[in-house]
Chain A
Amino acid sequence: MNLGHDALVRPGLGQRSWQQKSNLGWLFCTACTTLLLSIPIITVLYSILLPRSEVWLHLRSTVLPDYILNSFVLAAGVCLGTCLLGITTAWLCSTCSFPGRRLFSWALLLPLAFPPYIIAYTYTGMLDFAGPVQTSIRNFFGWEYGDYWFPEIRSIGGAIVMISLVLYPYVYLLVRTAFSEQSASLREASHTLGTGVYKTFFTIILPLARPAIVAGLTLVVMETLADYGTVHYFSVPTFTTGIFRTWFGLGDRIAATQLASILLLCVFAVLLAERYSRKTVRYQNPTKTQKFRYYPLSTTKAILATGICCIPIFLGFIIPAFQLSIWAMHTASEMINMSFLVLIYNTVLLAVMVTMTVVIAATLLAYGKRVSTHFSIPYAVNLSATGYAVPGIIIAVGVLLPFAWLDNTLDTWLQQKFGISSGLILTGTLASLVFAHVVRFMAIGLNSVDASLAKIHRSIDDAAQLLGHKTFDRFASIHLPMIRSGIFTAALLVFVEVIKELPATLVLRPFDFNTLAVRTYELASDERLADAACSALLIVVISILPILVLNRSIAQAGVLHGSQA
């Protein structure tokens, strides 16, 4: 009897001390990772405390108001545009039945494959004075320069349209999911109470989807504030172009960082607003007991619905992709050569290094969060995911300053001690570039892995533990095989994001190291739009991949991969 009692108690005791030890281990690991990943953000925030330079005072009195105004107008305009495109199409696709609805449901995601700067280059090439559209108008009417009015694409309005066309899928996706999670009987209850289709939309359907709309718009605002390529090309002075100009043009790194800190505070304000708006939403949707029923549309209305869904797909994907393909065909023989292959190699090398680091770190962090019970670990893990909300340019600035300082300190120390020079170990190599990307895209990896881990019921852990498997054992034999597809999704998403990312790469790349995105930017900046088409098209084609995955995972689970911090 005694023996049995002992046997019962002993594993329990062992368990507790083991758990404490493992807790400390995980705590240490996550704390280190989190600290490392928050270096850029801490640097940028710290710069607020530094004394203001001449340049800063100059900036504040001359261009800062413009930066603030333009960034605000841009973000507001893009919000409006993405709402208009995203909510209308989401409503049509989730509540109405019309021919091609299924096709549209995922085709509407395609514009997401275009980074804003690429669609901006493409439309500029098509719509500017020498482009095919204006040329044919002139030829047709026999007009000359100045005879007619044509909207200027290289303006803040143009930037709003361009960015809206490729970012509306965020709103569309989240809102469509929200709409289709609503119980059909809510709509029907509203109808039995004498309310028509459109009024029901505004009084019931739309207010209930508010959290999804806000979440979608938050992503949109982040991406808009992070955009550098479009606003630079359109010469719209915003925060990102301002930071760039201050850093490289005026050579004042501190002032540039201080500028970045203001943008960072704006981003945090947006994030907080989103959190707050979600907290005030006290109600929950009733559990969905009925299959979703679609409004049947009359022939005229069905044609109209089809037309409405076609607009963003054509403007945001088919037309620019078509134009890029034409240019690429013309310039392929010239552009595709040894240096293009080097470009691809560099891009893939960078993307693979970042992806590997992110996936491994994310898996460890997510698993650590699962097995450790220390209260602070979830916070730490969430903190290491904030990078995604931070524009690439800010991270670049926040990486460059401390790394340069480290490089210099190390070099000086080595010189003094041993008389050798270490050179620029961090800032002059891929290290800082990879690190910046890891900071920026850690959230994507974490969310993916975390989501698939969360699907594994706790009792599976318990069962494995009772069957004698230790923490790591359990991880290797149970969790890893079960979350393999989640890890794959994470890897794919990160891979593609790295390929699309422009400003961070632009700032941090080592001398003579070019990627597809940077090359596209350079060629476009030189007004060689047709020459830029090959690399641009390649980026777009690669970016279609995660959309397919995204669509499949939504079809399966009705859940977004959760790309927000």
Chain B
Amino acid sequence: MAAKLDVRNVSANLQNESILRNVSLKLEPACIAAIMGPSGCGKTTLLRALAGFLPVSSGEIHVHEKLLSTSQFTLAPENRHIGMMFQDLALFPHLTVRQNISFGLKSLNGGDKRTRTRQVLELTELDHQGGKYPHQLSSGQQQRVALARALAPKPEILLLDEPFSNLDPDLREQMATGVRKILKHEDVTAILVTHDQHEAFAMADEVGVMLDGRVEQWDSAYNIYHKPRTRFVADFVGLGSMVPAKVLDACTLETEFGQVSGDFDPSFTSGQEVDLLVRPDDIPHDDSSPITALVEEKRFRGAEFLYKLRLRSGNFVLCYAPSHHNHQIGEPIGIKLDLEHLVVFARNPTERAGNLR
């Protein structure tokens, strides 16, 4: 099957500053992707280039094998058939919910227009709100109107620009799963931009992490978390710390926890000093373990404690422990290293200590 969205080596500038650098990505139909990254990494700019608000300086954007943007040519946003849900929602305040939703349906005749509007109203559980004005709705309802409006014309691609950033964290994940269900129901290909990894993981089939206008890694959510390809991705997604290690052979590392084995990048040669990524869930707390570390900091998370531990070598690791294991700061506790896959980076002496975030 041909890719729904095909972005080939796209670069873009804003006020002579290069914001996107050679971004390439492909989306299969009905795939939901999330793009994460720190602010200023170019994720919103990418969306705006896809929507046609921003010309590209090089590269090509194809949607459904139709060329939309090159350095020479930018198809106007209104002719792209790409839907967008805006960060500030951008609901037209002078139109009712129903009018907002049917705004993009002008190619349909009256009956079809009404049918489609009713369909998306039902889909977003806004059946009885059609006659209201946006300001008469709760913020969650407003989000759904924005979604319904963007979905109504059945866009080729739906872009979502930090759509839940105005909601409180509790509602966010709930909305995200709800929206995912709706998108899947409508078979929409969608790209979500967010800086919240929970939101990204809850919604997306694929996740991209961007830095400085480049895509650092494009992968499944599982791989982004467990098999980060760069130090930045490892650091940006989830908690963790780097533990110094030495390559013994193609599948064994020597660490202060002892020898660990597993697959890792074969380009590392034996004897090389490396850093091993250790997530807090890789370090189970075990009172009987001979390896101990001192509690440096702790944070109560309800179901568990997140401990920052100081190893004998002076390095720090993070550890999740069930919340009845309440240890005092300064107390030594037993830990194990339970790694399923080894994520190894060349030694970078500046960045090692894991921090509680």
Chain B residues lying within 8 Å of A286, measured Cβ to Cβ, are 88-91, 93, 134
Instruction: Decide if A192 touches B92 in the complex (CB within 8 Å).
Output: no
B185 → chain A closest CB, angstroms: 21
Question: With the chains together, A185 CA to B53 CA distance in Å?
Answer: 11
Q: Does A183 contact B (CB under 8 A)?
A: yes
Chain B residues lying within 8 Å of A282, measured Cβ to Cβ, are 133, 135
Contacts between chains A and B (CB distance < 8 A), count: 90
Instruction: Decide if A195 touches B82 in the complex (CB within 8 Å).
Output: no
Q: Does B356 contact A (CB under 8 A)?
A: no
| Contact (A284, B135) CB under 8 Å given A186-B90, A189-B86 | yes
Chain B residues lying within 8 Å of A283, measured Cβ to Cβ, are 93-94, 133-135
By beta carbon, the residue of chain A nearest B54 is A293
Contact among B88, B106, B134, B150 for A192, CB-based, below 8 A: B150
Q: Does A128 contact B (CB under 8 A)?
A: no
Question: With the chains together, A193 CA to B84 CA distance in Å?
Answer: 8
Question: With the chains together, A195 CA to B153 CA distance in Å?
Answer: 12
Question: With the chains together, A185 CA to B90 CA distance in Å?
Answer: 6
Interface residues on B, range: 20 to 34
Question: With the chains together, A285 CA to B81 CA distance in Å?
Answer: 26
Q: What does DSSP make chain A's interface, helix, strand, loop or mixed?
A: loop
Q: Does A423 contact B (CB under 8 A)?
A: no
Query: Looking at the complex, which of B72-80, B275-283, B319-327 is the stretch in contact with chain A?
Result: B72-80
A interface size (C-beta, 8 A): 28
By beta carbon, the residue of chain A nearest B89 is A286
Q: Does A278 contact B (CB under 8 A)?
A: no
Interface centre among B77, B153, B159 (most CB of A within 10 A): B77
Q: Does B83 contact A (CB under 8 A)?
A: yes
Chain B residues lying within 8 Å of A290, measured Cβ to Cβ, are 87-88
Question: With the chains together, A193 CA to B117 CA distance in Å?
Answer: 14
Interface centre among B89, B92, B135, B149 (most CB of A within 10 A): B92
Instruction: Decide if A194 touches B93 in the complex (CB within 8 Å).
Output: no
Question: With the chains together, A272 CA to B165 CA distance in Å?
Answer: 41
B67 → chain A closest CB, angstroms: 19
A255 → chain B closest CB, angstroms: 46
Interface centre among A189, A286, A290 (most CB of B within 10 A): A189
Instruction: List A174-215 residues whose CB lies under 8 Å from chain B.
Output: 183, 185-186, 188-196, 203-204, 207-208, 210
Q: Does A337 contact B (CB under 8 A)?
A: no
Question: With the chains together, A289 CA to B162 CA distance in Å?
Answer: 12
Question: With the chains together, A208 CA to B106 CA distance in Å?
Answer: 20
B13 → chain A closest CB, angstroms: 13
Instruction: Decide if B104 touches A186 in the complex (CB within 8 Å).
Output: no
Instruction: Decide if B106 touches A194 in the complex (CB within 8 Å).
Output: yes
A206 → chain B closest CB, angstroms: 10
Instruction: Decide if B84 touches A289 in the complex (CB within 8 Å).
Output: no
| Contact (A195, B84) CB under 8 Å given A284-B135, A286-B89 | no
Instruction: List A277-325 residues whose CB lies under 8 Å from chain B.
Output: 281-290, 293
Contact among B93, B103, B133 for A190, CB-based, below 8 A: B103
By beta carbon, the residue of chain B nearest A289 is B88
Instruction: List A511-554 residues whose CB lies under 8 Å from chain B.
Output: none
Instruction: Decide if A188 touches B79 in the complex (CB within 8 Å).
Output: no
A97 → chain B closest CB, angstroms: 12
Instruction: Decide if B77 touches A192 in the complex (CB within 8 Å).
Output: yes
Chain B residues lying within 8 Å of A185, measured Cβ to Cβ, are 86-88, 90
Q: Does B32 contact A (CB under 8 A)?
A: no
Chain B residues lying within 8 Å of A288, measured Cβ to Cβ, are 88
A sample of 14 cross-chain residue pairs with beta-carbon separation below 8 angstroms, ordered by A number, consists of A185-B88, A186-B92, A188-B90, A189-B90, A189-B92, A189-B149, A191-B77, A192-B159, A193-B149, A193-B150, A194-B78, A194-B81, A194-B153, A204-B92
- Beyond A188-B84, A194-B153, A196-B76, list 13 extra A-B contacts (CB 8 Å): A183-B88, A183-B90, A185-B90, A189-B90, A190-B78, A192-B84, A193-B150, A194-B78, A194-B106, A195-B106, A281-B94, A283-B94, A289-B87
